[in-house]
Chains A and B, each alone.
Chain A
Amino acid sequence: MEKLENNKAWFLISPVIVIVAFSAIIPLMTVVNYSVQDIFGPGERVFVGLEWFKQVLHDYRLHDALWRQFLFSGLVLLFEMPLGIGIALMMPKKGWGVSASLVTLALPLLIPWNVIGTIWIVFTRPDIGLFGYIINNLGIPFDHTASPTDAWVTLMLMEVWHWTPLVALLAYAGLRAIPEAYYQAAKIDGASAWAVFLYIQLPKMRGVLTIAVLLRWMDSFLIYAEPYVLTGGGPGNSTTFLSIYLVKVAVGQFDLGPGAAFSLIYFLIILLFSWLFYQALQNVGKGEAR
């Protein structure tokens, strides 16, 4: 077929260009614009080059928040992935139990994020909260407003409770997609349940687990509402994550330049690590191993 030379194609994709421009490019360029200027007011601006970036990169509070963020997201993946896969493996395969367990799992995902923070504040209060009351009466002092460790424990419990269902649902979808013949062949080959998991279920879930890791990584790295409601970043700065600190800088202190530089660095870190995870998960077990 002869190829038509005309510019109609540009016209046809123009809506996409407009949408992407408004949704991503223009806001992003605004941030870039702010990050290299010092703006005092309308018409009053000074180009400062990479000054804000230097300042932000040398901010020890940002360093602390960054390490905290890595620890948090690392723990999230460490707990939620195995737990989610475990739940998916235990879920029923047919009958009324399927819909019952799916609905139960989906419940935490339907609750607004700041409501989740509120729920856990009440739940862990030493005086009236079920969890806080019981654990304090067992002789273990527990107060997330006073102890950084307790704040982290509460935060992790909340996070795992909130998001493990997503991992479980994705893993369950992956498991259901494995053809019955694989299980039959494994029975014929005399494979143990562990071997079935290792050589059939896990490799066949690779795709959905990649998505689960990426989603959980990105979401937990961006987390704001739940810890902000639960601890407000405290006690001290012990639960001040990147986004909480960013809001303090940009909104609290109205330092738009450093805030913009911070945002760009934040964005690049997420992008970089998402790419690394994606590459790693795509390549795992794909070498010409013997």
Chain B
Amino acid sequence: MARITLEHIAHSYYPNPQEPEDYALKHIHTSWDDGGAYALLGPSGCGKTTMLNIISGLLAPSEGKVLYDGQDVTLLTPEKRNIAQVFQFPVLYDTMTVYNNLAFPLRNRGVAANEIEKKVHEVAEVLDLSEYLGKRAANLSADAKQKISVGRGLVRSDVAAILFDEPLTVIDPQLKWHLRRKLKEIQQRFHHTLIYVTHDQVEALTLADKVMLMYEGEIVQTGSPDELFENPQHKFVGYFIGSPGMNFLPCRLDGNLARINGAAIPLSDEMAALGQKTKGKTELGIRPMYLEVHERETAGSVAAQVTGVEDQGSFKVLSMTLAQNPIKARLSDSQPVPESTAWLSFPKEKIKLYADERLVQ
């Protein structure tokens, strides 16, 4: 187990990168504490897997250093770094039994036979694989196969970290939930440093203590699930986290009011003061669930035209147009749905201001 640090890492798959667009990873300077459970969240193609492969040593970064507990491991192979990595599709040694699959990483490292036996049974126990130990791995179901892949990482007690690269993609939804809980349980029991790559926000938010959100080769925000939800540092975080994503309305600040094409929304004094200092394109952001929707005009509310409603089971999503801008609100199941005009009020403490896509604070 180790603390992992990436120092000024940049990576390009081209031999002579010129433009910023040539880089898969632009500038990553961050660290993962020993024993923490982290999620790397981001859309496809944002550089998550590249970063994971740099941490594990499958890929050498174009620029920067990788440190494990302060030691430079940039040039070491994955084997020397002593890291475990689980891939999107289960990787098995098909001709081997489950037992031999689990024992394989230990045998390659010359561990004594009785030690291997002990370790394999222990891990099989944790992963509920004991009954399959004598079976050939090739004939098992997808989730059992992925558990074996995880198990090959867990058998080595001294691994620096366990890296997961979207490991639940090929698993059925109901088993996904079970396996996710299992991973969390294992992490809490063994205190491995866990880095989990995913594009599924639910997975990231339930599994990790800390979520790193990536966008176009950069980490745009690191924080607890709660921080990411309540305080998106970047417009992208607002869009990506939460369902539906955050509303953003282009606005012009006028004293204590944010004017959106004529609709005026009152701001708190602090927010107005912050707004005075901003430059660039200003936008007002608010989560759909914090918007208060009324059927009649109330003090401080603004009118919006209802364009649609979508029932999502336990809640409804109301789509509206507010002064030519699309806006969404979340309604509880019991709440009445306004017919054609909804009156929206914006709770002052929930309003965020963004200048050039970044949070004003």
Contact = CB atoms under 8 A, between A and B. Distances in A.
The yes or no verdict on A and B being binding partners is yes
Interface of A: 179, 181-182, 184-185, 187-192, 195, 199-200, 203-204, 285-290
A200 B93 contact: yes
Interface stretch (B95-103, B249-257, B316-324): B95-103
Interface centre among B58, B83, B97 (most CB of A within 10 A): B58
B32 interface: no
The 4 A-B residue pairs whose C-beta atoms are closest, nearest first, are A185-B91, A190-B108, A190-B79, A189-B105
Given A195-B108, A204-B94, A288-B135, 16 more contacts: A179-B89, A181-B87, A181-B88, A184-B85, A185-B85, A185-B152, A187-B78, A188-B58, A188-B79, A189-B104, A190-B109, A191-B108, A199-B95, A200-B93, A287-B136, A290-B97
A289 B97 CA distance: 7
Contacts of B58: 184, 187-188
Contacts of B89: 179, 181
Nearest to A199: B93
A44 to B, nearest CB: 62
Contacts, number: 62
B134 interface: yes
A185 B77 CA distance: 12
Nearest to A200: B93
17 contacts: A181-B88, A184-B53, A184-B85, A187-B78, A188-B56, A188-B78, A188-B83, A188-B85, A189-B105, A189-B152, A191-B104, A192-B108, A199-B95, A200-B93, A203-B93, A203-B95, A288-B135
A69 to B, nearest CB: 33
B222 interface: no
Contacts of A189: 104-105, 108, 152
A182 B101 CA distance: 13
A113 B135 CA distance: 48
B291 interface: no
Contacts of B135: 288
Contacts of B201: none
Interface centre among B58, B83, B87, B91 (most CB of A within 10 A): B91
A79 to B, nearest CB: 25
B136 A286 contact: yes
Nearest to A204: B94
A285 B139 CA distance: 13
Contacts of A199: 93, 95-96, 104
Interface string B17-59: 0000000000000000000000000000000000001001010
B87 A185 contact: yes
B108 A181 contact: no
Contact of A290 (B84, B108, B109, B134): B134
B301 interface: no
Contacts of B88: 181
Contacts of A288: 134-136
Contact of B91 (A181, A190, A287, A290): A181
Contacts of A289: 97, 136
A190 B105 contact: yes
Contacts of A203: 93-95
B149 interface: yes
Contacts of B85: 184-185, 188
A195 B101 CA distance: 12
Interface centre among A195, A199, A200 (most CB of B within 10 A): A199
Interface string B160-173: 00000000000000
Contact of B99 (A184, A200, A204, A290): A290
A86 B14 CA distance: 32
A57 to B, nearest CB: 41
Given A199-B93, A286-B136, A289-B97, A185 B108 contact: no
A204 B79 CA distance: 23
B13 to A, nearest CB: 13
A289 B137 CA distance: 11
A251 B149 CA distance: 63
Contacts of A181: 87-89, 91
B140 to A, nearest CB: 12
Interface in B118-169: 134-136, 149, 152-153
Contacts of B153: 188
Nearest to A198: B95
Nearest to A203: B95
A105 to B, nearest CB: 28
A179 B152 CA distance: 18
B308 to A, nearest CB: 38
Nearest to A284: B95
A286 B109 CA distance: 27
Interface centre among B95, B105, B108 (most CB of A within 10 A): B95
Contacts of A190: 79, 105, 108-109
Nearest to B86: A185
A23 B88 CA distance: 48
B162 to A, nearest CB: 10
Contacts of A287: 136
Contacts of A187: 58, 77-79
B281 to A, nearest CB: 42
A285 B77 CA distance: 31
A49 to B, nearest CB: 50
Nearest to B153: A188
Interface centre among A181, A200, A290 (most CB of B within 10 A): A181
B120 to A, nearest CB: 13
B84 to A, nearest CB: 6
Nearest to A184: B58
Nearest to B87: A181
A286 B97 CA distance: 10
